[in-house]
Amino acid sequence: MNFVSTRGKVNNIGFIETVLMGLANDGGLLVPEKIPQIPAEKLEALSKLTYQELAFEIFSYFVEGEIPENELKELIEKSYSTFRHPEVTPVKKVKDNMFVLELFHGPTFAFKDIALQFLGNLYSYVSKKTGETIHILGATSGDTGASAIEGVRGKEGIRICILHPHGKVSKVQELQMTTIDDQSVLNLAIKGTFDDGQRIIKELFADVDLKNKYHLRAINSINFVRILAQTVYYFYAYFQVAKENEGKNVNFSVPTGNFGDIFAGYLAKKMGLPVGKLIVATNENNILEGFIRDGIYKPGEFQSTYSPSMDIQVASNFERYLYYLLKEDSKAVSELMENFKSEGKIVVNTEQLLQVKKDFAAHGVVGEECLQTISKYYEDTNYLLDPHTACGVAAYEQCNDSHEVCVTLATAHPAKFNESIERCEIKQSFPEQINELFNKPQFLEVIEADKNEVVHQLETLFRFSAN
């Protein structure tokens, strides 16, 4: 399969090159030249597979032989052997017509493990094949960092640097990243927000000479493989729920800040999965809700919330959706992104807004609503929601019709966000792997949110040469 940039100046590159390029060299995001279509009879066959078997089938549509079948299967088996549940992403019924898709059974108790365990193994595979060292850069609002480090640490030929906003992630998230004592891992706590970190990463990847010279690779969801891996669990969850709810619409409510997780559902739907509504759940940083409601994408003032992994104003995957909304017109996408850069907002026309409303519903969840949802479900069902999942459940309650079935993506284990859980006067027990973190020393550097400062730190990790 060939991949192209949303901005039109990168074309006809294969799967492996797409993985390695991450951010397209023209500043756009890489997408498949043509989205594969899965017919109904094939979907029926896929519904009978295990998670690993399903992942192989979905990945194969995009890999198209660039990785031999036996080696792709090995990569998948290795990636998901680290999960604590045999189904990888089990679906739990919480009440009538309401399910949660538990995405927190991986090594770092967050949904990012599903993509990053695979991407880490894939990078290691490529490094061994090519003999080149891979230098991974990423920014995190909390979960990506820990998952990325866990996915690649200890793998020969890989070094990783992660930026996180200093003081703006949960304590467990911080400890999962910064208690790793490994010379191939660099944690940078920037004095700023996740958006500042994401901006710096994009600036570094936009410097094509630097990117190519030092083999810089992306771990954020600008990398299409992140989206692809997340698409699998929409198929898996749909098949589990549809079996028991024949004839009913199956909707998904998705806590999202960077638009990657919801875009994976959009991709699954475009591939032929008969999903109903895709509900975008945000918090007070509700730029995505504003766009879906009014057709105006405009960052507001950053707010720290009880659901910090969604404390994002500029959603890096939004450009992928724009590409399809604008009927794959890369010139139009480029113009909109240039306008966004100069004017600070994107506005779509009436016809396009109607399409947006067909594609998505949305609800922005404010702090007390989030906490009340946690308390309510714990009291009524004895199911403890993490604050991000609670935003998803609150959005389900606002956007789902009573006769429809909804699956809310449970994106993290509640132990990762005990600060919010304690506000609900709920005492939870921590998994042993998380308990152990509190007794370990931390390894991190606190720096200004400045590209040049980041490059200076990278020179030590990657041993950059001035020549």
| Residues annotated catalytic, as ranges | 112
Q: Is 383 exposed, middle or buried (0-12, 13-18, 19+ CB in 10 A)?
A: middle
Are the C-beta atoms of 62 and 36 separated by less than 8 Å? yes
The two structure tokens encoding residue 22: 């991450």
The CA-atom distances, in angstroms, between 154 and each of 71, 151, 315, 394, 440 are 20, 9, 31, 40, 19
SS3 at position 189: strand
d(CA 391, CA 398): 11
Alpha-carbon distance 323 to 29, whole Å? 9
Partners of 362 in beta bridges: 280
| Terminal-to-terminal C-alpha distance of the chain | 37
d(CA 242, CA 455): 49
Whole-Å CA distances, 422 to 287, 336, 374, 434: 28, 43, 11, 16
Dmax (CA) of the chain? 65
